Amino acid sequence: MTTASIDRSALQARRNVWEMAQEQLDDVAKLIGLSEGIHLYLRQPKRVLEVSVPVRMDDGRIRIFTGYRVQHNMSRGPAKGGIRFHPDVTLDEVKALAMWMTWKCALVNIPFGGAKGGVICDPKAMSPQELEHLTRRFTSEISIIIGPEKDIPAPDVYTTPQIMAWIMDTFSMQKGYSIPGVVTGKPLAIGGSLGRDKATARGCLYVVDEAMKTLQLQVEGARVAIQGFGNAGMHAATLMAERGYRIVAASDSRGGVANQKGLDVRGLVAHKSETGSVVGFGGGEPMSNKDVLECDCDVLVPAALEKVITQENASKIRAKIVAEAANGPTLPEADRILHERGVMVLPDILANAGGVTVSYFEWVQDLQENFWEEDEINERLKRKITRAFREAYDQAKRHGVDMRTGAYAVAVDRVAEATKLRGLYP
């Protein structure tokens, strides 16, 4: 690789994700003829809250963490979006993720707007007690803008059902009674929903199934590579293997493993649980994260973090379908290259919308105090996701654009319509 290409690749990796999200909106605004006023309104978040989070650590020291909660748009209903604990959290990242949540909720046609939260921390270096203190204090600081009628957080990167339980308990203690509907992704014992743990992966499976059908490809034996073997990636591997797909490569932050004959997914999941990584699994050959993206496969599932598919590697991706189980894994320049090469990119606002859809089901069940069976939840999810795929695909064909632009055309139009109908107050 030349020095120039290394410099360009590094520049892309540092690209501002908020500007990237705004650029995606700008492109769709032109396509659907969005009015200037509505376009400008949707380009900025409705509310940004930055808080200091003091935490007494196990050694008695006080550390101050910085946290954010961003509400992008609430024209279609209360804000919805996860909270991530990660050392690389930035305000611009949270703003971008909140905007993407607005489009995601609109695309699957659930009555939520978009929000996102984050705390700059390294949860892997914190004890359970320190994490609880951090979570409870952060919840207390953002409690002025969250609630089942206002803004409903959920799990995201390095946050768990246990962390959601602490959020729910802290908020409830402040109000004086239990309010399970303040968060989703909770444990079942305190108002969580069946099917929520696998919802993102199951939604991704449903979308890939529809894409395979549309492209007239055979599911049985189709080769799948998964970059990122956390909650979404691990469950996607399991569900897709059960469906008949062949998982040929998988990786996490430490590295990857590959076997063109197919990995033993159950064994890989067990190895990950025992060792904390897929690295060292005996059922395949070692492979880097980079090589997993570029390996010979039919379906590529980026299920890690943002900006992994760039102008540099887009031409090397050999998959026919890219299903974005992660948020924002593909840069706009890479999108254009993949579209020109005939690769169908199933955008994040569609491919990973299973999580927020079942979160909506959980919120509804909490408010009604009436809980559904898992089969019913999965069937409702399938109807929502497959309808969203069809609507996005129809718009993509109508305008002669890629699937991301087609999905955005559906979503932005719905949010714009709600915004126009509600008008400006006062």
**Does some domain include residue 105?**
yes
Token readout for 275 is 């060792």
39 belongs to a structural domain: yes
Report CA torsion sign: 39, 72, 389, 208: positive
Based on the fold, state whether residues 231 and 168 are members of the same structural domain: no
pTM above 0.85, yes or no: yes
Q: Whole domain around residue 213: which residue ranges?
A: 199-346
Q: Is the pLDDT of residue 5 over 80?
A: no
Domain boundary pick from 118, 149, 180: 180
For 367-377, write each residue's pLDDT tens digit: 999 999 999 99
- What pLDDT does residue 1 have? 42
Residues 6 or more apart whose Cβ sits within 8 Å of residue 376: none
CA 200, CA 233: separation in Å to the nearest integer?
9
Euclidean distance between CA atoms 275 and 191, whole angstroms: 31
Same domain, 132 and 81: yes
Dmax of the chain from CA atoms?
Answer: 65
Angle between helices 403-422 and 374-399 (to 10 degrees): 100
Dihedral sign of CA atoms 256, 258, 262, 267 in order: negative
Could you tell me whether strands 285-287 and 255-258 are parallel, antiparallel, or unpaired per DSSP bridges? Answer: antiparallel
Please tell me whether residue 325 adopts helix, strand or coil conformation.
coil
If asked whether residues 168 and 289 sit together in one domain, one would say no
In a 13 Å sphere around the CA of 261, the CA atoms on its Cβ side amount to 4
CA 96 to chain CA centroid, nearest Å: 12
Q: Tell how far CA 322 is from the center of its chain.
A: 15
Could you give the CA distance from residue 91 to residue 113 in angstroms, rounded to a whole number? 19
Catalytic residue among 104, 116, 382, 384: 116
Residue 282 in 3-state DSSP?
coil
Q: What is the CA angle 156-162-165, rounded to 5?
A: 100
Rounded Cα distance between 426 and 419, Å, is: 14
Task: Calculate the dihedral angle through the C-alpha atoms of 241, 374, 77, 201, rounding to the nearest 10 degrees.
Answer: -10
User: Over the chain, what is the mean pLDDT?
Assistant: 95
* Average of per-residue pLDDT across 71-94: 97
Is residue 157 very low, low, confident or very high in pLDDT (cuts 50, 70, 90)?
Answer: confident
Pairing of strands 246-252, 223-227: parallel
| CA atoms of 344 and 402, how far apart (whole Å) | 7
Q: Which two tokens mark 272?
A: 């990950």
End-to-end Cα distance, the chain: 57
Q: 149: buried, middle or exposed (CB in 10 Å: 19+, 13-18, 0-12)?
A: exposed
Q: What is the pLDDT of residue 14?
A: 56
Report the C-alpha gap between 24 and 363 in whole angstroms: 30
Q: What is the mean pLDDT of residues 291-296?
A: 95
How would you classify residue 185: left for phi > 0, otherwise alpha for psi between -120 and 50, otherwise beta? left
The reply to whether 50 and 93 lie within a common domain is yes
Is 257 within the bounds of a domain?
yes
Model confidence at 286: pLDDT above 50: yes
Helix/strand/coil for 117: strand
| Domain-embedded: residue 10 | no
Q: Which of 299, 314, 346 is the last residue of a domain?
A: 346
Do both 125 and 209 map to the same domain? no
Reported as a single tens digit per residue, the pLDDT across 206-257 is 999 999 999 999 999 999 999 999 889 999 999 999 999 999 999 998 999 9
Clarify whether residues 216 and 247 are in a common domain.
Answer: yes
Residue 106 and residue 243 in one domain: no
Neighbours of 411 (CB within 10 A): 29
Question: What CATH number does the domain containing 78 carry?
Answer: 3.40.50.10860
Q: Is residue 426 part of a domain?
A: no
The answer on pLDDT for 161 being more than 70 is yes
Q: Does 234 lie in the same domain as 133?
A: no
Q: What is the dihedral of CA 312, 313, 316, 320, to 10 degrees?
A: -130
- Claim to verify: residue 219 and residue 176 sit in the same structural domain: no
Contacts of 133 (CB under 8 A, 6+ apart): 55, 56
The CATH number of whichever domain residue 242 belongs to comes to 3.40.50.720
- Yes or no: say if 259 and 248 are a contact pair by the CB < 8 Å rule: yes
What is the per-residue DSSP string for 63-105? EEEEEEEEEEE-TTSSEEEEEEEETT--HHHHHHHHHHHHHHH
Residue 141 and residue 84 in one domain: yes
What would the mean pLDDT of 140-167 be, rounded to a whole number?
Answer: 97
Number of domains, the chain: 2
Same domain (yes/no): 82, 210:
no
- Same domain for 95 and 153? yes
182 within 8 A of 168, measured Cβ to Cβ: yes
Asked, for residue 377, whether it belongs to a domain, the answer is no
- In this prediction, residues 188-192 reach a mean pLDDT of 97
Between helix 199-214 and helix 231-243 the angle, nearest 10°, is 50
Instruction: Answer yes or no: is 3 within a domain.
Output: no
- Helix (H) and strand (E) counts in the chain: 15, 12
Q: Does residue 426 have a cis peptide bond before it, meaning omega lies within 30 degrees of 0?
A: yes
CB 330 within 8 A of CB 309: yes
Domain boundary among 148, 180, 212: 180
pLDDT in tens, 12-35: 555 688 998 999 999 999 999 999
Any domain includes 159: yes
Query: Which tokens hold the place of 216?
Result: 């007239």
Active-site annotation holds for 116: yes
**With left for phi above 0 and alpha for psi between -120 and 50, is residue 410 left, alpha or beta?**
alpha
